[in-house]
């Protein structure tokens, strides 16, 4: 029987590093075709068993972070990825991003793809369908296996892992208070369906601000946008009416920008007839006329913090208990809620 | 010596599928912890050699497409990813996205990460630094290895692979012609540094339209924005001057939207004093006042076509020769270039 060959012995034979041999056997393009060919032929001849390599690889870190986001069209998720990416680079990690497209099935398939040895840990914002159906088995499986996992923005409180959120209740409370301070009496809320946690938390902040200012809640001013219907048509039903609200709080920038266009079409002056403010991490608000006030979501910061929590978890450098970091959003007051006195 | 054990024999022993055994040995979370433990213990006991598995995996397709984009903040790349994703899902592929952050080194590191058995093919838009330094060895290496590769938007014509671009010259030509038709005489161009191929192609289309309309080129109206300097300050130098241009063609939406804000600050009326049009795949243009005319980049379509070319290449179902698909951009005329007569 031939002598049992190891990576180390092959490396010594060729006068190269173990890492070069490992890469050559994995057919890496970093190694020249000729060297790869010679190393592979040698390994084959000595019947090299990659078990030891496989084991070594499995225990080795990949230095890659996996990220799963529901969609990429909202600028918010782009800024989060940017934040994750910048922090990860500094710490020597690569980032791989997959989209769930709001689908439970796609989310599970991304989980299987990424946790199959490709990444050291996952940063995830939960898909709409997963939240709607409350199907969290795939998360529970990872957690049971001590696989590093950080949830951000769209989270589930029952899952035992690190989390980063913004203070959605506080942000909506601040914004509603600001509208009350400038004299608004009939503040409409443009929000999402209730199963989107961020939408329902922002509604909570809105209700809390009204109550603490002694303003009675008018349920007819709370509009839950259905993402499967035409957005502008739904917003028209709120604004293009005989007695429109005198202020609008929108849970995202697209709702706010459409409300602004709709109010102007209706002949309303912003902010005197109707003041508008929206949650945002985007660029649209700066360029509308008047520019839109907003509750700044700090997507970039959220990404950085999520990456920091994850890398601490991977490298066992953070606290042992799971963390829930809460980012305080601040108001950026622009002309859409700025009354001249 | 113990009998040589195979995946098939292990599968038979446990009454499960080969795929289940393979997943269990790879520690997949799809398989219950208990089953994984039993299968792995059995495989260890019979000294199962994963070579055959490794070989099988290497020749097997991963059914994953890798995508490398320069950055994620411009909406254009988000729409391309959306297009890739939708086409890929239909064909049963997953998508993994990495960012080069415009860095050559980061691009190379993404190449190594993704082509190391994780994906069946790559869709790439070249990083700014790579284009500036003309360092394409990593691309040439892949091409030599017949690794399926599609370049989009920022390409290099010397690389022998499939490509998808938009007709940048044609788009700029159409837009400049449109400005001439509405009576503009002094059309400024807000473009990028020359090494960004799309910027220099758009400049070519602009020059060609001027020439074919018998308008002399005024070099002082061509402004190359430096992305490392403050954007608004640079745009002010074009517009906030004694004799501003009467039209602006911007090579992206951010330049166009800033030009619009700057012109309004300067007291110019859009489009009577100054008409503005920009290349875009974004949302800002719809919400400015007046809304911005634009050359539609069709990012979604570009993503779909890139994915189609790549999957054809992976599955050997397309033409043998490399394809270069050129998408024709169309003009979307909005109020920023619409003169009332």
Q: What is the ipTM of this complex?
A: 0.74
Structure confidence at residue B50 as a pLDDT band (50, 70, 90): low
Q: Give DSSP secondary structure letters for B204-220.
A: HHHHHHHHHTTPPP-GG
- What are the φ and ψ backbone dihedral angles of A223, each rounded to 5 degrees? -115, 120
Inter-chain touch B287–A284, beta carbons under 8 Å: yes
pLDDT at position B8 is 78
CB atoms inside a 10 Å sphere around CB B322: 16
Please check whether residue B254 touches A, CB under 8 A. Answer: yes
What is A60-166+299-327's CATH superfamily? Response regulator (3.40.50.2300)
A214: distance to nearest CA of chain B, Å?
Answer: 35
A26: nearest CB among B96, B116, B284 = B116
Beta strand B330-332 with B293-296 is antiparallel
Q: Which of residues 60-119 of A touch B (CB under 8 A)?
A: 64, 71-73, 75, 78-79, 81-82, 85-86, 89, 94-99, 101, 106, 109-113, 115-118
Structure confidence at residue B24 as a pLDDT band (50, 70, 90): confident
pLDDT tens digits in sequence order for chain A, 341 residues long: 345 577 778 888 888 888 888 888 877 878 888 888 888 888 877 766 554 444 444 456 889 999 999 988 778 899 999 999 999 999 999 999 999 999 999 999 999 889 878 899 999 999 999 999 999 999 999 998 899 999 999 999 999 999 999 999 999 999 999 999 999 999 999 999 887 788 889 999 999 999 999 999 999 999 999 988 999 999 999 999 999 999 999 999 999 999 999 999 999 999 999 999 999 877 899 999 999 999 998 999 999 999 999 999 999 887 889 999 999 999 999 999 997 64
Identify all chain B residues contacting A98, using CB atoms and an 8 Å cutoff: 94-97
Identify all chain B residues contacting A30, using CB atoms and an 8 Å cutoff: 112
Inter-chain touch B257–A49, beta carbons under 8 Å: no
pLDDT at position A13 is 81
Average pLDDT value over all residues in chain B: 89
pLDDT at position A49 is 57
pLDDT at position A247 is 97
Q: Give DSSP secondary structure letters for B14-59.
A: HTS-HHHHHHHHTT-TTS-HHHHHHHHHHHHHTT--THHHHHHHHH
For the cut 60, the answer to whether the pLDDT of residue B3 exceeds it is no
For A30, the closest chain B residue by CA position comes to B112
A284: distance to nearest CA of chain B, Å?
Answer: 5
- For residues B13-52, one letter each, b for 16 or more C-beta atoms within 10 angstroms of the residue's C-beta and e for the rest, the string is eeebebebbbbbbbebbbbeeeebeebbebbeebebbbee
Please check whether residue B50 touches A, CB under 8 A. Answer: yes
More confident residue, B9 or B260: B260
Cα distance between residue A173 and residue A331, in whole Å = 11
- 8 Å CB contact between B296 and B327: no
Please check whether residue B137 touches A, CB under 8 A. Answer: no
Give strand ranges (E) for chain B.
64-69, 94-99, 121-124, 149-152, 162-166, 187-191, 222-224, 247-250, 275-280, 293-296, 324-327, 330-332
pLDDT at position A1 is 36
pLDDT at position B52 is 40
pLDDT at position A50 is 54
**Which sign, positive or negative, has the C-alpha torsion A306, A310, A313, A318?**
negative
Structure confidence at residue B33 as a pLDDT band (50, 70, 90): confident
Identify all chain B residues contacting A286, using CB atoms and an 8 Å cutoff: 257
Q: Where are the CATH 3.40.50.2300 domain residues in chain B?
A: 60-166+299-327, 168-297
Percent of chain B at pLDDT > 90 equals 70
pLDDT at position B2 is 40
pLDDT at position B145 is 86
Beta strand A162-166 with B162-166 is unpaired
| Average of per-residue pLDDT across B251-275 | 96
Cα distance between residue B100 and residue A71, in whole Å = 20
pLDDT at position B70 is 94
What is the CATH number assigned to the segment(s) B168-297? 3.40.50.2300
- pTM for the whole structure: 0.77
């Amino acid at each position: 029987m031939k002598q049992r060959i190891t990576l180390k012995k092959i490396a010594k034979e060729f006068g190269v590093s173990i890492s070069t041999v490992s890469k050559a056997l994995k057919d890496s393009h970093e190694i020249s075709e000729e060297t790869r060919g010679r190393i592979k032929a040698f390994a084959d001849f000595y019947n090299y068993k990659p078990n030891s390599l496989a084991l070594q690889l499995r225990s080795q870190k990949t230095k890659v972070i996996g990220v799963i986001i529901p969609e990429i069209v909202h600028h918010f998720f782009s800024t989060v990825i940017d934040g994750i990416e910048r922090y990860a680079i500094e710490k020597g990690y690569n980032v791989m991003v997959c989209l769930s497209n709001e689908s439970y099935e796609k989310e599970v398939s991304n989980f299987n793809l990424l946790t199959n040895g490709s990444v050291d840990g996952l940063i995830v914002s939960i898909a709409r369908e997963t939240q709607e159906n409350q199907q969290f088995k795939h998360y529970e499986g990872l957690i049971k296996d001590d696989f590093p996992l950080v949830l951000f923005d769209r989270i589930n409180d029952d899952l035992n892992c690190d989390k980063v959120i913004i203070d959605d209740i506080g942000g909506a409370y601040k914004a509603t208070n600001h509208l009350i301070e400038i004299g608004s009496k009939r503040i409409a809320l443009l929000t999402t369906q209730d199963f989107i946690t961020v939408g329902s938390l922002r509604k909570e902040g809105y209700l809390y601000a009204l109550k603490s200012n002694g303003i009675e809640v008018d349920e007819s001013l709370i509009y839950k946008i259905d993402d499967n219907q035409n957005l502008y048509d739904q917003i028209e039903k709120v604004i293009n009416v005989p007695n429109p609200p005198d202020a609008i709080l929108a849970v995202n920038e697209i709702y706010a920008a459409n409300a602004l266009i709709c109010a102007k079409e209706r002949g309303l002056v912003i902010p005197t007839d109707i003041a508008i403010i929206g949650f945002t991490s985007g660029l649209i608000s700066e360029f509308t006329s008047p520019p839109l006030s907003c509750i700044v979501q700090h997507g970039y910061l959220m990404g950085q913090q999520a990456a920091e929590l994850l890398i601490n978890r991977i490298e066992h450098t953070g606290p042992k208990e799971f963390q829930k970091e809460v980012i305080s959003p601040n108001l950026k007051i622009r002309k859409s809620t700025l009354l001249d006195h």
